[in-house]
Amino acid sequence: MARKKQEEEHENHERWLVSYADFITLLFAFFVVMYAISSVNEGKYRVLSNSLGSAFGTGAAVSVTQVAPERQQAFPLARQARPDRQQIEALRQKRTAMTDMARKIQVSLAPLVQRGIVRVTQTSRGVKVEINASILFAPGDARLSTTSGEALTVIAEIVKDDSHALQVEGHTDNVPISNALFASNWELSSARASSVVRLFADNGVGQHRLTAVGHADNVPVGTNATPEGRLRNRRVEVLILADLPEKETEVPITPANP
């Protein structure tokens, strides 16, 4: 018998539909992901969920995880630009100026620094001058003594021509106080900080640069279990902040969607 002639296979002209369907599916998945990470409300998620369920013929809603509000943020397209040489040089000059100011205060108050009554340190916030309250105030009082005026006047003379903000913080130990002037350590620490601020203002420091804060006994630097520790905790700290505080701006609050 003669062999049957094999029939020639016909070329399938619809094979491109498979690749096209895969492409459309991937594109659809991409937009679903982009939609999921965008900031939308719960109602829109439900509409998307029901639509996906109908599209795939399952009749069931497709679960889409909602992104937490703190993560609903546009992703940066590129890394932030590195600071240029001028910015780096400006930062270096600011840091050097703060260091020079700290050294000048330390040298001017050297006798008190050597006695451990005054401590001058430089932190990320700026320059901190810690002054023991024993040379500033009488026990349970917020009026500056005569000897305290000399140390504070030296500080005021150094910083009065500067532009940095100053924050004066009053601190006490944990021994309660209640007298005709102060109902608690809150009032005492605040009044002591205000007394120092008033002296700075009287010696030429701009009032717009000054802030008085009372912490009572909430920020101890030593233990309150010993007389030495309580003595260390009764103090006033003068903070020369590294940068001027930014002006307060109002940001409207958008009501949450029901």
Annotated domain spans of the chain: 18-71, 85-241
pLDDT per residue over 186-208, tens digit each? 999 999 999 999 999 999 999 99
* 101, containing H or E segment: helix 85-108
Q: Is the pLDDT of residue 38 over 90?
A: no
Q: In what order do the strands lie in the sheet with 126-132?
A: 118-122, 126-132, 235-241, 166-171, 210-214
The CATH number that domain 85-241 falls under is 3.30.1330.60
pLDDT at position 144: 92
Q: Which tokens hold the place of 229?
A: 């520790």
CA distance 93 to 252: 37
Q: Is the pLDDT of residue 212 over 90?
A: yes
The strand ranges marked E within the chain are: 118-122, 126-132, 166-171, 210-214, 235-241
CA distance 211 to 169: 8
| Average pLDDT value for residue range 145-174 | 91
CA distance 131 to 143: 15
